[in-house]
Structure 1
Amino acid sequence: MAAGNPIRGSRVGAGRMGEADRGELAPRRRLEFFCANGHTTRVSFAAEAEVPDHWDCPTCGLPGGRDAATPPPAPRNEPYKTHLAYVKERRTDEDGEALLAEALAKLAERRGR
């Protein structure tokens, strides 16, 4: 039961469909990038465009390379460091003990007054 509505399924101002109406597409090349998790990403580039060495995988976010046998390794993420971790990098345990003893001596002196 077709109602004969010519607008159904199209947008306002869409015009006629077809390659001849929209013009020719620029020449393209389709390349594949492979990540360390085994995902394959196919990306289209213009024929004259410069191709990057790495492309981020949309599935897992790891970098992908052009060689399927040797994909680029996952970047090493440094864990979040706490303030104490940074202090321990700058000071030894002996330095910490000396600072603590000095602070306790000052506190005892203030309380003794």
Structure 2
Amino acid sequence: MAGGGSAIRGSRVGAGPMGEAERGDTAPRLYISYFCARGHETRPAFAADATVPETWDCPRCGLSGNRDSLNPPPPTKIEPYKTHLAYVKERRSDAEAADILSEALQTLRDRRARGDVIY
């Protein structure tokens, strides 16, 4: 054999069967179109006997889509990130905050007066 060639020509290691006949028939499939608010169409495949979901997330933009191309679901409103202080301010008025602060400061002053070590 010239050039050190392979004994089996035209195939590679790990090559599977060549064609549908060796693998068997595929299960019947159903392709359903989903439409998002940005007009993208997604067509996932489902088994013919599977329960098809009402909504499907768009792989392009991440918005939820449904099967009605004329009335896709509206985009969800994304809440901005809030700090802990923002949540506290929603729960407490400025007057309540001032009362809580003065109470906490008085407690610290009382502990210092007793000689407690405060870290």
TM-score (norm 1): 0.78
Distance 1:35 1:96 in 2: 45
CA-CA distance at 1:14 after TM superposition: 1.4
1:22 corresponding residue in structure 2: 23
1:97 CA drift (Å): 2.1
Q: Which runs of 5+ in 1 are unaligned?
A: none
| Alignment correspondent of 1:12 | 14
- Alpha-carbon distance, 1:75 to partner: 1.7
Code of the aligned partner of 1:5: R
Spell out, residue by residue over 1:10-37, the C-alpha distance to the aligned partner (whole angstroms, 9 max, x if none): 442513x122221111111111110111
Stretches (4+) displaced over 3 A: 100-111
Alignment of 1:55-94 (within 5 A): 55-94=56-95
Name whichever structure is richer in strand by fraction.
1
Q: Which residue of 2 aligns with 1:100?
A: 101
Matched residue count: 107
Query: What is the CA distance between 1:47 and its match in structure 2?
Result: 0.5
Match of 1:34 in 2: 35
Distance 1:106 1:27 in 2: 74
The percent of aligned pairs where both chains have the same amino acid is 52
What is the root-mean-square deviation of aligned Cα atoms in Å?
2.4
Unaligned segments of structure 2, at least 5 residues? none
> Judging changes above 3 Å, is the alpha-carbon distance between structure 1 residues 28 and 13 closer, same or farther for their aligned structure 2 residues?
same
TM-score, with structure 2 as normaliser: 0.74
